[in-house]
Amino acid sequence: MTVRLLEVEEIGPFTFRWPEALEHFERGWEGTAEASAETVRFRYGLGERTVYGRMRAHSVVWIGGQPVAEGVGTDDHATSRSLVSRIKGVDRKVVRDRSALPPGLEGLEGLEIVQHRDAIDAPYSPRCLAVKLPEDDATGWVTFALAARPGRGLSTRSATRPRVASATSEMRADERAPRASPRGSFDPVDDTIQRAVVLELIAFEERSNGPLQRGVVQLTADEEADRFVREDDFAFLLAVLFDQGVPYGRAWRAPLVLRERLGHLDPGLIAAEPERVRAAIAGPPALHRYVKKLPAWVVSAARKVLDEYGGAAGNIWRGQTAAVVRDRLDDFIGISQKKAAMTLMLLWRCRDEDIQGMQDCDVAVDVHLRRVFLRTGLVSGDESRLMIDAARRLYPELPGALDPPAWVIGQRWCRPRAPTCDECALGAVCPRLIERGNDVVGS
């Protein structure tokens, strides 16, 4: 089966909605591939995400609208610009020996096969074979994706290089990946224990931050930055975007510094001057570690505020219900389910916004909350839907209130290895199902 890539178009930033979150891709390519008598549409996107313990380059290849192959930046990515992807056999298990290579990958020219652990030496990096390719080799990645499809191996050893056309339009991916099965399946824990855990989570939160009511918690300990993000709605929205992959205090001061560098924080001017925004964020010193991603998010947010909310970020939430605000925030590039849920609680608890229907404010599902919910028996499987449903069932008046204490406990005591259960705030009520959370790492 001969593979030929037809005219390929380079595309700008886009997002893809996974079952649990949106992922942003900074650039990519799409086009048509011919494989024997079959013609398929493909898309190849490049971005970043936390994998194997740190932020790495990340790529996805879609064939016919379905994600087929993923690449992860190697340890030497800064110099090699290469990604690797695990090779799976016909049984969909990773391949550890060349003798077990699936028919479609045997000897394909241009596809370098390496040991995954040699390319990424990190916790949970598997000991298996992987394909290693340059990140911008769209031809190689599409060829690998076509060869790696279950039951669709290639017998050819060549692929025709495409002609690449330039394009600058921003695109959104509306294809949805199929929902994955729950990771892990455990025996349910008695309701009495679950409710005791929830009550202790709420008690810990109130001991730490005061009563569960509107407007009682500071956004950040930096007084000047706190005042600014309280008074300026657009600054608050930008702080939410900055709050990823950097310390909390740095993220929430970033809008104030950005205003100082630009001389304003006007959505109209920001939307009109993307290069100036990029330079202001890049510094020196840089306002964020993602100096390519954050400027795109900021400019995109400014355009969205102008186009959909009359230039006023406060219109996103003011006078709206929690369910509406949650969906509106989730629609911004750079804000996922996790950040939308977090932002709702911040609006209500820190900015004193009168948002109705806070029973629709869900927990922000991240690695710390997942580990705590699993080890305390609040859920019987590692899936976001289960975490959200458990919070709604066990604390229906304000499900999102379980998120801040779970995050702190997961970070401080309920760590992946050697959790300090005797010191933990939940020590007296937790069933200590430690093994259920041992594999919960990453983001």
Q: How far is CA 127 from CA 70, 95, 394, in A?
A: 17, 9, 40
The pLDDT tens digits of the residues spanning 408-423 come to 999 899 998 889 999 9
Provide the sign of the torsion angle of the four alpha carbons 354, 355, 358, 363, taken in this order: negative
Question: Peptide bond preceding 285: is omega within 30 degrees of 0, i.e. cis?
Answer: yes
On the question of pLDDT at 205 being above 70, the answer is yes
Q: 26 Cβ partners below 8 Å, 6+ apart? A: 13, 46, 47, 48, 292, 293, 296
Q: Name residue 274's amino acid.
A: P
Q: Out of 138-142, 159-163, 325-329, 399-403, which region has the weakest mean confidence (pLDDT)?
A: 159-163
Average pLDDT over residues 149-163: 44
Query: What is the model's pLDDT at position 425?
Result: 94
Higher local confidence (pLDDT), 323 or 12: 323
How far apart CA 377 and CA 259 sit, in angstroms, is: 46
Query: What is the model's pLDDT at position 278?
Result: 95
The pLDDT tens digits of the residues spanning 27-42 come to 888 888 887 667 888 8
Identify the band that residue 157 occupies on the pLDDT scale cut at 50, 70 and 90.
very low
Average pLDDT over residues 48-67: 86
No. of H helices and E strands in the chain?
15, 12
**Exposure on the CB side of residue 56, measured as CA atoms within 13 A:** 26
Mean pLDDT, the chain, whole residue set: 84
On the question of pLDDT at 156 being above 90, the answer is no
* pLDDT over 70, % of the chain: 88
Query: What is the model's pLDDT at position 175?
Result: 32
On the question of pLDDT at 322 being above 70, the answer is yes
Query: What is the model's pLDDT at position 110?
Result: 58
Query: What is the model's pLDDT at position 151?
Result: 52
Would you give the DSSP letter of residue 123? Answer: T
Q: Out of 38-52, 158-172, 361-375, 409-423, which region has the weakest mean confidence (pLDDT)?
A: 158-172
Query: What is the model's pLDDT at position 215?
Result: 76
Within 248-383, residue ranges assigned H as helices are: 248-262, 267-272, 274-282, 293-308, 322-330, 337-349, 367-375
Query: What is the model's pLDDT at position 337?
Result: 78
Residues in the chain: 443
The pLDDT tens digits of the residues spanning 169-179 come to 333 333 333 33
- Please, are residues 46 and 57 in contact by the beta-carbon 8 Å criterion? yes
Q: Out of 30-34, 51-55, 329-333, 349-353, which region has the weakest mean confidence (pLDDT)?
A: 51-55
Structure-block tokens of residue 3: 């593979």
The pLDDT tens digits of the residues spanning 120-153 come to 988 778 889 999 999 988 888 888 888 877 655 4
How far apart CA 87 and CA 232 sit, in angstroms, is: 49
Q: DSSP E strands: which ranges in 142-256?
A: 159-160, 164-165, 173-176
Query: What is the model's pLDDT at position 172?
Result: 34
Higher local confidence (pLDDT), 147 or 166: 147
On the question of pLDDT at 159 being above 80, the answer is no
Inter-axis angle of helices 403-412 and 191-209, to 10 degrees? 90
The pLDDT tens digits of the residues spanning 230-271 come to 999 999 999 999 998 888 889 999 999 999 999 999 999 999
How far apart CA 427 and CA 300 sit, in angstroms, is: 44
Q: Name residue 47's amino acid.
A: G
Higher local confidence (pLDDT), 54 or 276: 276
Strands 14-17 vs 173-176: parallel, antiparallel or unpaired: parallel
In the chain, what is the greatest distance between 2 CA atoms, to the nearest angstrom?
Answer: 66
Q: Out of 119-123, 372-376, 429-433, which region has the weakest mean confidence (pLDDT)?
A: 119-123
The pLDDT tens digits of the residues spanning 287-311 come to 998 888 899 999 999 999 999 999 9
Predicted TM-score (pTM) of this structure:
0.57
Query: What is the model's pLDDT at position 174?
Result: 34
The SS3 assignment for 46 reads strand
* Chain position carrying tokens 């700008």: 12
Higher local confidence (pLDDT), 235 or 66: 235
How far apart CA 47 and CA 13 sit, in angstroms, is: 9
Instruction: Round to the nearest angstrom and report the end-to-end CA distance of the chain.
Output: 39
